[in-house]
A and B are shown apart, each in its own frame.
Chain A
Amino acid sequence: MALSLKVPAWSIGVLLLGQVLTGCASNSTGSSASAPASNASAEQIVLAIGGESEEGYDPTLGWGRYGSPLFQSTLLRRDENLEIVNDLATNYTVSEDGRTWTVTIRQDAQFSDGKPLTAADVAYTFSKAAESGGLTDVTVLEEAVATDDYTVELRLKQPQSTFVNRLITVGIVPEHAHGPDYARNPIGSGPYQLVQWDEGQQLIVEANPNYYGEAPGIRRLVFLFTEEDAAFAAAQAGQAQVVSVPQSLAVQSIEGMKLYDVASVDNRGLMFPFPDEGSKTTPDGKPVGNAVTSDLAIRQAVNYAVDRQALVDGVLEGYGSPAYGPVSGLAWEEPNANIEDANPDLARQILAEGGWRDSDGDEIVEKDGLKAEFTLLYPASDSTRQALALSVAEMLKPVGIQVNVEGKSWDEITPLAHSNAVLFGWGSHDQTEMYNLYHSKAAQGDFYNAGYYANQAIDQRLDLAMGAPSEAEAIAFWQAAQWDGQEGFTAKGDAAWAWLVNLDHTYFVHECLDIGQPQVEPHGHGWPITANIASWTWTCN
């Protein structure tokens, strides 16, 4: 017995020794990596950037909803300046009433199986996506009709200025080869075709010989799906040429690799339940509302008390920027909605004016016997959100707001997300997301408008923006919804959220690999960098 019970005493020693050895090992690779034993060339590179789609690669079910579907090509796309340019489409027009989009497509496009891509495939893709009601939201589509081989008409139920984003993100699937197992065997007209997918491990793709555009500079890509620290180690060992790393690792350097620090609208913020506690429930009976965060003074005080720049410097190691709204850096951002934050005094003043006072001397303010205390949930697997949640809680202590931070899995967060503050992340090139985060009709018991924010005036502006005939004409309405001097959903107005930071996406890229000019990236873990992957080139021999 004594012997068997002795085992753990030294086994932990072994564990410890193992840790020390790993530490030494990785340090030594770091210093001896002057010439990474790289087997990369224009023939093949290895990418460890995450982004595995567990549901597979079917655009009608939501693959590529943030853009760059890789296997498929889209009608339009955004270039590095986020301008909309043609891809499959050669031209598109919108009718007077904004309800009919007529798109003509190029005639030389082929799927990777050699069959031509016609207007019928486009019509099929859009009808299918509307039918499946997946994550790509095309519910506004009434019907899609191919009027001839290379012209397709998309008829909408009502005008929608954001519909152009569907043309940018929905990859076209072949009608003849689309079925239930398509998600595992995608065939498309994109720059690359699938060779092999070992779920949870790797995805191997090869240049599509039938691609209509310029042939990709790299023939074969291997996507490794590993943890971030394993990816970092792979980069140090010269086994991966493009690696997305968390900001905390970006301060390191790897010889033979360059750091790309790409701005993004991948934001993080605190979502507040808007209604009072117990005022309603979600369709499936989950509670909605929170007595503390339903108070405007609390929400505004949080917004003004938080030191966003300190979060950027401390949590993101400087690789990020403060966020005051959900669309920082995009053309439809309202710059006047920004506030002077890191101002605890103003926060205390707002609380005092709102009737919150510390009457019992416990350094937490109260109002009518209610303590200014709420729970903040963050997904346990995400260390950045954990750090943000803990830091925000610390910053709110001095103004008298007690935040109880709890890490849970998404499954546990989902039923609690309408009655507790949650640290969410969003960020898209598509304004529909802003609509869904703030429109009262979007609050249906899922993550869209999880806090059940509702303001008729804001709803109206969002509807006007959505119904505008074009993206450009909608911008004024999108901005007015954020802040127009009197009203808005941002901090100066209803402060429905406390947006915190925009992450910069950080990548280590091999010196010999030219990845061009990355665009301002949307939410999405690493994958957005593939937006221009067809034009990457290997510059060494």
Chain B
Amino acid sequence: MTTLAPPQIRASEKQSNRRQQTLWTIGLCAFFLAAIILSTWVIGDAGLSPVLTQRNQPPSLAHAFGTDWLGRDMLTRSLHGMSLSLRVGLLAATVSALIATLLGLAAGTLGGWVDAVICWIIDVCFSLPHLVLLILVAFAVGGGTRGVIIAVALTHWPSLARVVRAEVLQVNSSDYVQLSHRLGRSPAWIARHHMVPHVIPQLLVGLILLFPHAILHEAALSFIGIGISPHLPAIGIILAESMRHLSTGYWWLGVMPGLLLLLSVKAFDWLGENLRALLDPRTSQG
């Protein structure tokens, strides 16, 4: 795609190198993200307790991200928050991928009024601002951490469903699928044997690219203070809290967790792009 950097075009002269590079990137990103998710088990809850004598300390060796207004270790808080976000993202992406595949396949293969209804649902979801939809769902299911998770999980499928549907429609019009129809195969059989293999690469990449969306939306919801108790470590809460202290010059409260969020989201982006290059090299080279 156009957004891919020039080095990769140059690298096409040396296929093996580029392939290695892609694999390396995928490995590194996956490792980084897994490390964040698992970090909470390694570092434990100790840094989450207030230590009033160590308030507002700038980053140092003992506290790489500094400490906050209650003397809590910001590295521990940020990692806990990021880990929660990633787990919410994982759940949301999985649920979204499932819903999107089901609806996309149904719309593409069955066609007719089924297609019309599913397209209508997708359009309705798109017509609402996403954040508003999130807030509505979060409130409707009773708020709290659970509300945030359900809202994020249930609202990210439409874009992916649309992509899957387009892919299915394209495959549907190809000769061998038409032939399969004539041979009397049922739509379900065709969907399973002819569509799914074509859709899987798209789905995998789409799923990974949904992650940053879900993570940012989880952060956004906790940022505006829906549901989660404000002393719990969620990345949005941490960032919202840091806003209060910016005028006092405690820059590390916002910058360090912000960087962590930026890196995590970017890691998913790289992961998705490189996975696409690996699975679908033809389109990747433009």
Contacts and interface: CB of A to CB of B under 8 A. Distances in A.
B49 interface: yes
Contacts of B259: 16
Contact of B159 (A4, A19, A397): A4
A84 interface: no
B212 A252 contact: no
A15 B258 contact: yes
Interface residues of A, number: 46
B147 interface: no
Interface residues of B, number: 45
Contact of B53 (A20, A314, A389): A314
- Interface SS of A by simple majority: helix
Most buried by B among A232, A314, A315, A389: A314
- Interface SS of B by simple majority: helix
Most buried by A among B49, B229, B231, B255: B231
Contact of B212 (A1, A9, A248, A311): A9
A252 B206 CA distance: 48
Interface in A12-28: 12-13, 15-16, 19-20, 22-23, 26-27
A19 B242 contact: yes
A442 interface: no
B213 interface: yes
A408 B229 contact: yes
A9 B249 contact: no
A137 interface: no
Contacts of A252: 247-248
A391 B229 CA distance: 16
B231 A236 contact: no
Interface stretch (A144-152, A277-285, A380-388): A380-388
Contacts of A13: 262
Given A1-B159, A23-B254, A390-B70, A232 B247 contact: yes
B266 A9 contact: yes
Given A1-B163, A20-B251, A6 B269 contact: yes
Contacts of A15: 258
A30 B248 CA distance: 9
Interface string B40-57: 000000000111110100
A386 B231 contact: yes
Interface of B: 1, 3, 49-53, 55, 69-71, 159, 163, 206, 209-210, 212-213, 216, 225, 229-231, 239, 242-249, 251, 254-255, 258-259, 261-262, 265-266, 269, 272-273, 276
Interface of A: 1-6, 8-9, 11-13, 15-16, 19-20, 22-23, 26-27, 30, 228-229, 232-233, 236, 248-249, 252, 310-311, 313-315, 380, 383, 386-387, 389-391, 394, 397, 405-408
**5 closest Cβ contacts across the A-B interface?**
A314-B52, A407-B229, A16-B258, A5-B209, A26-B247
Given A9-B212, A248-B245, 13 more contacts: A2-B276, A16-B255, A30-B247, A232-B247, A248-B69, A313-B52, A314-B50, A314-B52, A314-B53, A314-B71, A315-B70, A390-B70, A397-B49
